[in-house]
Amino acid sequence: MRKSQVELQATIETPDGTFLARYSERGLCGLAFPPLPHRKTVSSALPEPAREWHRITSEALGRALRGEEPKRLPPLDLSAGTEFQQQVWQALRKIRCGNTCSYGEVAGRIGRAKAIRAVGGACGANPIPVLVPCHRVLAANKRLGGFSGGLDWKRKLLSREQSWTEEG
DNA sequence: TCCAATATTATGC
DNA sequence: GCATAATATTGGA
């Protein structure tokens, strides 16, 4: 697996806190949940291509946090992951808003029906949560599995999409 | 190359 | 519910 080199980073302010987006030459390559480190980069300091991506990312993130499908997405640079992981992430992007998927189903979609455990690992390695809807992946009995940025986020996001309730 | 870890799942108690 | 075995993939020694 190749090492991803981060070119730029900029913050995105949302009602839920300030996110940190990272951009490579190809596009958005990372997204971090709040809380953030003290230092932050201003979006106006970005070069032209990244600045455009950042604008799109901000809007897309804002919509995603509201439980709506982003109207437009910036180019995503997923080259940081292995081929298997990229397949998983592509499968995740196909999950519509308001829908959920089990780890086993995601595994089946990419032709690795038995790679359930590995799918979980790939989701955990997802560098762009929310925009790549890793939070819409649940365990077999529709229970919450885990989440990189904290299980609380997964619960909150699904709740806003009305895809999941505590009751089940 | 081998070993341990994992955001799972199925089974048995 | 909880413990255990089986499974695929990854990363480090």
- Catalytic annotation on A101? no
CA–C1' A114–C8 (A):
7
CA–C1' A119–B8 (A):
9
Confidence of residue A1 (pLDDT cuts 50, 70, 90): very low
CA–C1' A55–B5 (A):
38
Nucleotide nearest to A154 (CA to C1'): B7
Q: ω before A35 within 30° of 0 (cis)? A: yes
| pLDDT tens digits, A85-130 | 999 999 999 999 999 999 999 999 999 999 999 999 999 999 999 9
| pLDDT tens digits, A50-74 | 999 999 999 999 999 999 999 999 9
CB of A148 lies under 7 Å from some atom of strand B: yes
Percent of chain A predicted with pLDDT > 90: 82
Nearest CA to A109 out of A124, A93, A125, A133 is that of A93
- C-beta of residue A130 within 8 angstroms of C-beta of residue A62: no
CB of A133 lies under 7 Å from some atom of strand B: no
CB of A85 lies under 7 Å from some atom of strand B: no
Q: What is the pLDDT of residue A120?
A: 97
CB of A140 lies under 7 Å from some atom of strand B: yes
Q: What is the pLDDT of residue A38?
A: 58
Would the CA dihedral through A99, A57, A134, A143 be positive or negative? negative
